[in-house]
Structure formats: structure tokens, C-alpha cells
Amino acid sequence: MITVTGRRRWTEEIGRYTAFGLVMAVVAAGVALIFLYHWRIGSGLIGGSLLVGAGLRALLPENQLALIAVRRKLTDIVLYGGLGLLIIFIAATITGGPLD
């Protein structure tokens, strides 16, 4: 294996973690909204971030996924998508909520 140093390696590593950074940015926005007492929208964003992760897992090649690729491709897509839809469904259907 040839090791690459300098600018090229740094940009390749940034490219590998861009998809994960996008998913985590959406999660951070959701958590911030939950702390600001907009729990339904924040929870929906967290569920949406899982759907984004499922879409990225389906569309991007393995070398650009970094920490999104945990298991086999189909398993990741089904679990991320299913959990994301479940979180969005629960956030949309719960009546009342924290501090109501």
C-alpha cells in the first residue's frame, strides 16, 4: 500500500467523513431544538438524520462513508431507514409532550 502524505491525504480524509459530518450536523440541530423546548421538531430532525444516513449509505461508495458503514449495506439501509421512520412517526403522533 502506498502512503500518501500532505495535502492529498488530508483532503481524502475530509471527503471520507463528509457524509458522517452531515448526518451529525442534522442530529446536533435536532438536539439543540429539543433543548429549546421544540421537542417535536427536534425529534423529527433526529429521525430525518437517520433517513439521510440511509440515503447516503445507499448512494455513496464505501470509501466515502467512514462511520456510516457499520454493517452490510442492506442491513444499514433497513435499520437506519426503519429507525428514522419510527422516530418521526412517534414524534408526530405523541400528544402533549415534555413540560406540557
Residue pLDDT, tens place only, 7-53: 667 677 777 888 999 999 999 999 999 999 888 999 999 999 999 99
* pTM above threshold 0.75: yes
Q: What is the pLDDT of residue 32?
A: 96
d(Cα 100, Cα 57) in Å, to the nearest integer? Answer: 37
DSSP-based three-state secondary structure for 13 = helix
Q: What is the pLDDT of residue 63?
A: 84
d(Cα 50, Cα 61) in Å, to the nearest integer? Answer: 18
Residue pLDDT, tens place only, 44-95: 999 999 999 999 999 999 888 888 999 999 999 999 999 999 999 999 988 7
